[in-house]
Amino acid sequence: MPFQDGSMSRPTPSVLAVSGSLRERSYTRTALQYVLRAAAEAGAETTLLDLREVDLPLYDPDIGDQGDSREVTALMREADAVALGTPVYHGSYSGALKNFHDYCGWDEYEDTTVGLLATAGGGSYGSTLDHLRITVRGVHGWVLPHQVGIRNASSRFVDGTGPDEIDGRVFGEEKLQERVEKLGRMLVEYAFIDPDVSSPRTESDG
């Protein structure tokens, strides 16, 4: 369980955010940076893995390490908590994030605390978060109950400057910003939880 007070020495958690959007000015990436900033303010060391900036060829189980896969999976294994962010595509998560998932397995996810965030161009994101939750559970990750969905993402951010600005944007709604930042704080709070959710591993048919 996470430490409850200052009477015990708490190690510094490492929090990784994975942006599954390939858009140059991605709302998903901006939102994840708010998550990481809140995590850093809560005492974590933070890293952003922007899938737009790494070389991850389409996963092929018959080929060993491809592109940056060795470095990417090492980041996952070393993280105490991970935030997965994705745009909503056809009611699910992006192909870029799915390909990243295919490179990762039990060694990367087992008993890792995971937070979920989805940005939708329209009004629906529920199935996307459900699909992510199911796939993370399948490799024994522990998903936070608190998750974030952002409807009509292009209208939830406004151009701006000031202390809250990230990527030249600020949230237009304080409550939404609070939900996003809460995800970062919870990743830190539960980074060292021992969920004991593992079950016997099954062989893949693939």
Structure tokens at 140: 């024994």
Pairing of strands 113-119, 148-150: parallel
What is the predicted pLDDT for the residue at 8? 54
**Domain 17-190 classified CATH 3.40.50.360?**
yes
Q: 150 and 21 in contact (C-beta within 8 Å)?
A: no
Percent of the chain with pLDDT over 90: 74
- Give the whole-angstrom CA distance, residue 68 versus residue 166: 27
Q: Which helix (H) or strand (E) holds 169?
A: strand 169-171
Amino acid type, 18: V
What is the predicted pLDDT for the residue at 199? 58
- Give the whole-angstrom CA distance, residue 103 versus residue 49: 14
- Give the whole-angstrom CA distance, residue 60 versus residue 179: 37
Q: What is the CA angle 87-100-62, rounded to 5?
A: 145
Spans of all domains in the chain: 17-190
- Give the whole-angstrom CA distance, residue 193 versus residue 15: 14
pLDDT at 139 over 90: yes
Average pLDDT over residues 57-73: 94
Q: 180 and 147 in contact (C-beta within 8 Å)?
A: no
The more confidently predicted of residues 9 and 33 is 33
